[in-house]
A and B are shown apart, each in its own frame.
Chain A
Amino acid sequence: MILTNTTNYFAQLIDYLFEQMGLGGQILGYVIVAAIYLTFFAVAGLLLVYVERRVAAFFQLRLGPNRVGPWGLLQTIADALKLLAKEITGTERKDKLLYHAAYFLVIPAALIGLSVIPFSNGVQAYDLNIGVFFISAVSSVGVLGILFGGWGSNNKYSLIGGMRSGLQMISYELSAGLAILTIILMAGSLQMSEIINQQKDLWFIVKGHIPALIAFVIFVIAGTAESNRTPFDLPEGEAELGAGFHSEYSGMGFAYFFLAEFINMFIISAVAVTLFFGGWLAPFGITDSLPWQPLWGAVWFFVKVSGMIFLLMWFRWTFPRLRIDQLLTLEWKYLLPVGLLNIVLMAILVYYNIIL
């Protein structure tokens, strides 16, 4: 039975190297795992930028990038090369420490968040027993980078963008947390792999019916807000603030913010898939009898995540942007009370065991 198999391939690799080469091997193992994640980070980031541009184009009756490489696939790589070659410019009298610390905070925050996400059965850098909580905590570090960038740029537009971002992240963290808690009530665990195992008979969105559905809607809204995407892209707010907190970044500094934003979107989608749609589990177990189980798990995981990402993109290319006070009204007057009630409802359902 594959579901009881809780082997972690990354842990096995490190253990194997430790047995072979001792402490040096262990460190080598860590480096290899880190390299794998960094590569994934870069490739997924670039691919997501491409997908976003392509999807946006089709929404807008265009074709999108289609010149560089087959179907324009190499376009984002060309863009990254261009950004690498660009001169690094900045404002005068910027706060140098904060200005440059900003993108060194955004990238690790996104990268660490990635580490506890189970890509497939056993494909997870570290199966932390407080995985979900860890992601919430780490994703809050990213906001510091944006705040630093906004403050350090010595630009009023950046400052407004940075402040908006802080306001938004802190507010929506609450709702996202409440939505996650609703599911935790059902799962009884914070561990990502355990949450997925709990869903082997039924996904949580079906199992928890009404409260789970409400939690999902809240989580998607809060997640969109946390990843700074339209209709919540106030920190960038291109019509109002030019480019918001990253107005004054050029070259790779700008690209780091950009990549981090897309990886955050991936993390939000991955968490949503893990919590509500059974992570790497195949729907109705249709591929359970096939060989190469971890591969199939990864396939299902990425299919589901793509669906979530597409939903976020659909939002982005349809909705207008909210105003800052409406953003807070939505959170404190709608999402938070509904979220709290939802938790109570879920608690009652779980206590009386009315979940499916």
Chain B
Amino acid sequence: MDTVTLNTGDLKSQEYFLNMGPQHPATHGVLRLILTMDGEVVKNIEPDLGFIHRSIEKQCEYEGYKQIIHLTDRMDYLSAHINNEAVALAIEQALEIEVPERVKVIRTIMGELTRIASHLLWWGVMGMDVGALTTFMYAFRDREMINDIMEETCGARLTMSYSTPGGVMFDLHPNFVKRVKEFIPHLRSVIPKYDELLTGNVIFQKRMKGIGILSYEDAISHGASGPVARGSGVSCDRRKIAPYSALDKVDFKEIIYTEGDNLARYNVRMKEMLESLNIIEQLIDNIPDDGIQAKTKALIKLPKGEFLQRVETARGDLGVYIVSDGKKNPYRVKFRSPGFSNLNALIEMGKGHLIADVVAIMSTLDFVVPDIDR
């Protein structure tokens, strides 16, 4: 039998490049992805960084240790307090000072509030990225309550600069405990509504389930951390592995899902918010009262050596690595940012998916571009 050959003439399918970003609504900042596309299918992803590089690490070499902290606000601005805490902990570790119990508890509560705020913002934006525009305002309504609490105590809503080496900047506002206690039941009551609105939605489930699978091995080999790795079954919560501040005194679960797809990462974050509420609830009732500042010198000089402090930000494992030569400013500072490694995992996850899926995957990775590109 003759085989029929389709004469396509000069018609050929052709791969093309699509520049996603630096100005694109889905990249949440100035990230540029060079997509190799075949029709709507993404064949390859090449992230291009450097659009918001402010050389924070280099700036740190010219600043005193107290002054480094306000720069870390500007890295991962959504978990600004946890960044501050990381630097403060690293310096305290180097100076071998014991901070008061009150400071530890305050830092932990603030850190968990920041984590909730960050996850709430992520949830709102996640909805926007898959087309449900209303989630954004609902999430912001609840995030605003945390921002108000922060404003009352720290004097700023986003870039708090609240931790200092050896303590915290201000004491808690008298209203703090009351407002946090109001917030906890409020969030507990709205999260089921979030689930009804978005999580349970059949369209959303179809968009999330089985998309962007990151295997256990890939998660480890790409150095993914935080909710991204925990969605792939990797136990990597620094709060569990090496508890810092008051985290050794509280009882909480590490949320781990093993599917490794978008929905797993989504669920990890949703459950983490509730777990953070548990942590706050355990600490809020008895905040010790032994001062907010350990004795430090006015001009901090670190002893010669190398110091590493790792904390769990809302995005994952943040490492602060300080090399000191005994002077008043560090010899070298390196921040190991979680977003950078998580972005790396996107290359693996996005291949072979449609462009809309790549947007959804990026959303579940929860980028903060200034964190990727310091």
Contact = CB atoms under 8 A, between A and B. Distances in A.
User: Do A and B touch each other in the complex, judged by CB within 8 A?
Assistant: yes
Interface of A: 56, 59-62, 156-157, 160, 164, 230-231, 233-234, 237-242, 317-326
Nearest to B211: A323
Nearest to B128: A239
Interface in B299-323: none
Contact of A319 (B24, B203, B354): B203
B359 A239 contact: yes
Interface string B338-366: 00000000000000001111010000000
A322 B206 CA distance: 9
A233 B130 CA distance: 11
Interface string B156-168: 0000000000000
B40 interface: yes
B131 interface: yes
A320 B201 contact: yes
Contact of B132 (A160, A237, A320): A320
Contact of A231 (B25, B128, B131): B131
Contacts of B201: 319-320
Given A160-B40, A320-B201, A59 B134 contact: yes
B134 A239 contact: no
A56 B137 CA distance: 11
B253 interface: no
Interface residues of B, number: 30
Q: Which 3 A-B pairs have the closest CB atoms?
A: A321-B131, A60-B137, A320-B132
A336 to B, nearest CB: 18
Interface in B124-154: 127-134, 136-138, 141
A60 B131 contact: no
Contact of A156 (B16, B131, B136): B16
B131 A230 contact: yes
Contacts, number: 79
Contacts of B250: none
Given A160-B40, A318-B134, 19 more contacts: A56-B133, A59-B134, A60-B136, A61-B137, A231-B131, A233-B131, A234-B356, A239-B25, A239-B129, A240-B355, A241-B355, A318-B132, A320-B127, A320-B198, A320-B204, A323-B206, A323-B207, A324-B40, A324-B356
B197 interface: yes
Contacts of B197: 318
23 contacts: A60-B138, A61-B138, A62-B137, A230-B131, A230-B132, A230-B133, A231-B131, A231-B203, A238-B25, A239-B128, A240-B26, A317-B133, A318-B134, A318-B197, A319-B132, A320-B127, A320-B131, A320-B204, A321-B132, A323-B356, A324-B354, A324-B356, A325-B354
B130 A320 contact: yes
Among B25, B130, B131, chain A packs the most CB atoms within 10 A around the CB of: B131
Contacts of A326: 203, 206-207
Contacts of B203: 231, 319-322, 326
B18 interface: yes
Contact of A321 (B26, B40, B130, B354): B130
Contacts of A56: 133
Contact of A242 (B25, B131, B133, B134): B25
Nearest to B127: A320
Given A60-B137, A61-B141, A237 B356 contact: yes
Among A231, A233, A242, A321, chain B packs the most CB atoms within 10 A around the CB of: A321
Contacts of B129: 239
B24 to A, nearest CB: 7
Contacts of B136: 60
Nearest to A232: B131
A156 B136 CA distance: 28
Contacts of A242: 24-25
Contacts of B128: 239
Contacts of B18: 156-157
A217 B127 CA distance: 25
